[in-house]
């Protein structure tokens, strides 16, 4: 069975979007994975298909109703279909490469795209939604985050990348940022490719790449560097 992604959203026209081109798009055409964007409003209340209401306790904005969202979730995913149910949320666990790899190894994912001020807490609990964040900033809704998550996952599916080993040396795969890259011309605007990369000495090249990865990580992401040092110890 190919990897199956279902997205619950108020804006299904946003999909596949960028997932319809390049690696993800070609894999979608081949059937390596499938994508369905489902309209939450189809399960709305009354003639106007209402999906939200005012926050209990009072505050600005609106909140997605639990009855509407639960019905949309139940229609898209059986409890035993094996796919995790993720709510894209700024208060969620930060998405990382380890979680991306776990998702890519599974049968698929159900993604719920929040809007307005958020989602009624009761449906998060009742439908066991795991909240996931792509960063410490606020978006207009979960759709862009869902696109980011799916792009990260789909590129790791078997056969999507031309060279599977490409994904094994990237940033975050070994707890470090990736080393710098160079290509021709050898000299450009007075800047040369580091001589070690032209030496043909594979051991020296690997040492250089490791040292550069460690230098960049310590300089730009001290949080990752601290974790990498603990792991190494």
Enumerate the domain spans of the chain.
3-154, 169-232
Hey, is 130 helix, strand or coil? Answer: strand
Going by pLDDT thresholds of 50, 70 and 90, the confidence category of residue 166 is low
Average pLDDT of 161-185? 79
Pick from 108-112, 193-197, 209-213, 228-232: least confident: 228-232
pLDDT in tens, 31-86: 999 999 999 999 999 999 999 999 999 999 999 999 999 999 999 999 889 999 99
pLDDT of residue 167: 55
pLDDT of residue 119: 97
pLDDT of residue 221: 95
194 and 188 Cβ atoms separated by less than 8 Å: no
Torsion 209-211-212-213 (CA) sign? positive
What's the rounded Cα separation, in Å, for the pair 178 and 213?
A: 5
Among 80, 93, 83, 107, residue whose Cα is nearest residue 8: 83
pLDDT of residue 79: 85
pLDDT in tens, 90-143: 999 999 999 999 999 999 999 999 999 999 999 999 999 999 999 999 999 999
pLDDT of residue 230: 74
pLDDT of residue 171: 64
pLDDT of residue 77: 95
pTM (predicted TM-score): 0.90
What's the rounded Cα separation, in Å, for the pair 8 and 142?
A: 10
CATH of domain 169-232: 1.10.1270.20
What's the rounded Cα separation, in Å, for the pair 154 and 88?
A: 17
pLDDT of residue 164: 58
119 and 69 Cβ atoms separated by less than 8 Å: yes
Which residues in 42-121 belong to E strands, given as ranges? Answer: 52-53, 63-64, 85-94, 108-113
Which CATH superfamily, name and number, covers 3-154?
A: SPOUT methyltransferase, trefoil knot domain (3.40.1280.10)
């Amino acid at each position: 069975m190919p990897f199956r992604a279902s997205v619950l959203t108020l804006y299904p026209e946003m999909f596949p979007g960028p997932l319809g081109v390049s690696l993800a798009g070609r894999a979608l055409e081949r059937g390596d994975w499938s994508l369905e964007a489902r309209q939450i409003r189809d399960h709305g209340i009354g003639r106007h298909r209402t999906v939200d209401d005012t926050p209990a306790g009072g505050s600005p904005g609106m909140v997605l109703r639990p009855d509407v969202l639960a019905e949309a979730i139940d229609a898209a995913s059986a409890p035993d279909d094996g796919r995790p149910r993720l709510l894209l949320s700024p208060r969620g666990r930060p998405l990382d490469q380890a979680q991306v790899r776990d998702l890519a190894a599974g049968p698929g994912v159900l993604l719920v795209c929040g809007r307005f001020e958020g989602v009624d807490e009761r449906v998060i609990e009742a439908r066991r939604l795991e909240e996931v964040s792509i960063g410490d900033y606020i978006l207009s809704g979960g759709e862009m985050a869902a696109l980011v998550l799916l792009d990260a996952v789909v590129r790791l599916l078997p056969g999507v990348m031309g060279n599977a080993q490409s994904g094994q040396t990237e940033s975050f795969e070994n707890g470090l940022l990736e080393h710098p890259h160079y290509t021709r011309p050898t000299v450009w605007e007075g800047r040369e490719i580091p001589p070690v990369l032209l030496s043909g000495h594979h051991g020296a090249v690997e040492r250089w790449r490791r040292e550069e990865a460690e230098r960049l990580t310590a300089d730009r992401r001290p949080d990752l560097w601290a974790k990498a040092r603990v792991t190494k110890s």
